[in-house]
């Protein structure tokens, strides 16, 4: 009877003791194990440690909190009021801590991976949309950012690592660069209606030898323009007008006014849209099989070392 009264008195005192900060997570684990097992021996076995160190850790926790957490009786351990109050909170803290690895793993699974995809002016909407749609379907965790530019700058950025995959106009050569043909479109002539009589079904370059050929800066795609110059020379087209930079608007003015002609893709590229509403005819070529190729290019080294690049390559290969 005296023991019971003393126990009740001790419990009332424990509730009024202040709780201080600085509790370690391992101490909370020790406390929860003892509270659930109601035995230092069973709790020590559960924690894979000896009973004496466990008892000492509980005493350290009680000293840190400034109040006993257990009533230690012969062959029995009970929680004090402070221990009862602490137990659900300690369980909640430990559950939250134990859940952190899963939270981080889930965040990693849902984190978007940014990717820069370079795209040249004559890439058709169908190629562009097929790449983006396939990317969204096969790798929804990749967030694509399109970087419009001409072929040469995009290849420089690709080699520098600023572009992950580029959709450019080929052929593309270079050490460490892999490429895949995505589309080949025939080339036609864009010429002012005042230069060509009627509406011919086709035309030869020789028929336009007296008209200057206009183009944007050849540095935009040097390999393409080297091949194009050879083609024009073979057909007697000697006069050239080269506009600075990617001045497509200026190119449209020259062609529509009859001062020059140019070559454009007969596909869905920018060429047809550039002359919309202008007095310009787009006529297929009869004497040549000239075409413009769209290729996807990437760094071979990065594709082997980086999962992001490998996934982007997986997308463009799926389009074949």
Q: Give the residue extent of every domain in the chain.
A: 23-108, 113-179+294-316, 182-291
Length of the chain: 320
> Stretch 283-289: mean pLDDT, rounded?
82
Count of other CB atoms within 10 angstroms of residue 182: 20
> Stretch 148-156: mean pLDDT, rounded?
89
Domain spanning 23-108: CATH 3.40.50.2000 = no
Q: Is the pLDDT of residue 290 over 60?
A: yes
Mean per-residue pLDDT over the chain, rounded: 84
Distance CA 183, CA 270 (A): 15
Could you tell me the pTM of the whole model? 0.59
Distance CA 38, CA 263 (A): 88
**Strands 213-215, 240-242: pairing kind:** parallel
Q: Taking the domain 113-179+294-316, which CATH number applies?
A: 3.40.190.10
Q: Same CATH topology for 23-108 and 182-291?
A: no
pLDDT in tens, 177-225: 999 999 888 888 889 988 888 888 889 988 999 999 988 776 767 777 7
> Stretch 140-148: mean pLDDT, rounded?
93
Q: What is the DSSP letter of 261?
A: B
Distance CA 311, CA 165 (A): 10
Q: Is the pLDDT of residue 9 over 50?
A: no
What pLDDT is stored for residue 21 in this prediction? 55
Q: Sorting pLDDT into bands at 50, 70 and 90, what band is 272?
A: low
What pLDDT is stored for residue 269 in this prediction? 65
> Stretch 113-123: mean pLDDT, rounded?
91
What pLDDT is stored for residue 18 in this prediction? 39
What kind of fold does domain 182-291 have according to CATH? D-Maltodextrin-Binding Protein; domain 2 (3.40.190)
> Stretch 6-29: mean pLDDT, rounded?
54
Q: Is the pLDDT of residue 105 over 90?
A: no
Residue with more model confidence, 84 or 7? 84
Contact 313, 182 (CB under 8 A): no
Residue 136 C-alpha from the chain's centroid: 11
Residue with more model confidence, 265 or 308? 308
| Closest to 294 (Cα-Cα) out of 174, 96, 120 | 120
Phi, psi (deg, nearest 5) at residue 226: -65, -45
What pLDDT is stored for residue 127 in this prediction? 92
Q: How many angstroms separate the first and last alpha carbons of the chain?
A: 89
């Amino acid at each position: 009877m005296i023991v019971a009264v003393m126990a009740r008195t001790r419990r009332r005192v424990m509730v009024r003791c202040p709780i201080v900060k600085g509790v370690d997570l391992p101490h909370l684990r020790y406390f929860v194990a003892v509270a659930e097992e109601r035995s230092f021996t069973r709790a020590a076995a559960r924690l894979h440690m000896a009973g004496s160190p466990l008892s000492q850790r509980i005493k350290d926790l009680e000293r840190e909190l400034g109040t006993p957490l257990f009533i230690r009786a012969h062959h029995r351990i009970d929680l004090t009021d402070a221990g009862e109050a602490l137990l659900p909170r300690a369980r909640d803290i430990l559950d939250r801590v134990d859940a952190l690895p899963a939270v981080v793993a889930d965040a990693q699974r849902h984190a978007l991976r940014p990717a820069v995809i370079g795209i040249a002016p004559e890439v058709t909407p169908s190629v562009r949309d097929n790449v983006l749609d396939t990317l969204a379907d096969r790798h929804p965790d990749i967030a694509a950012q399109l970087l419009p530019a001409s072929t040469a700058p995009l290849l420089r950025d690709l080699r520098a690592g600023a572009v992950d995959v580029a959709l450019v106009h080929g052929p593309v050569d270079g050490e460490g660069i892999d490429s895949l043909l995505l589309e080949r479109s025939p080339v036609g002539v864009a010429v002012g209606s005042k230069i060509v009589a009627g509406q011919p079904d086709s035309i030869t370059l020789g028929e336009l030898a007296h008209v200057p050929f206009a183009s944007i800066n050849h540095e935009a795609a040097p390999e393409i323009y080297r091949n194009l110059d050879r083609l024009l020379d073979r057909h007697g087209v000697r006069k050239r007008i080269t506009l600075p930079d990617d001045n497509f608007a200026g190119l449209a003015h020259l062609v529509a006014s009859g001062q020059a002609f140019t070559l454009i893709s007969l596909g869905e590229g920018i060429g047809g849209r550039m002359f919309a509403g202008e007095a310009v005819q787009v006529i297929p070529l009869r004497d040549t099989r000239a075409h413009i190729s769209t290729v996807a290019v990437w760094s071979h080294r990065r594709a082997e070392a980086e999962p992001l690049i490998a996934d982007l390559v997986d997308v463009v290969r799926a389009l074949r």
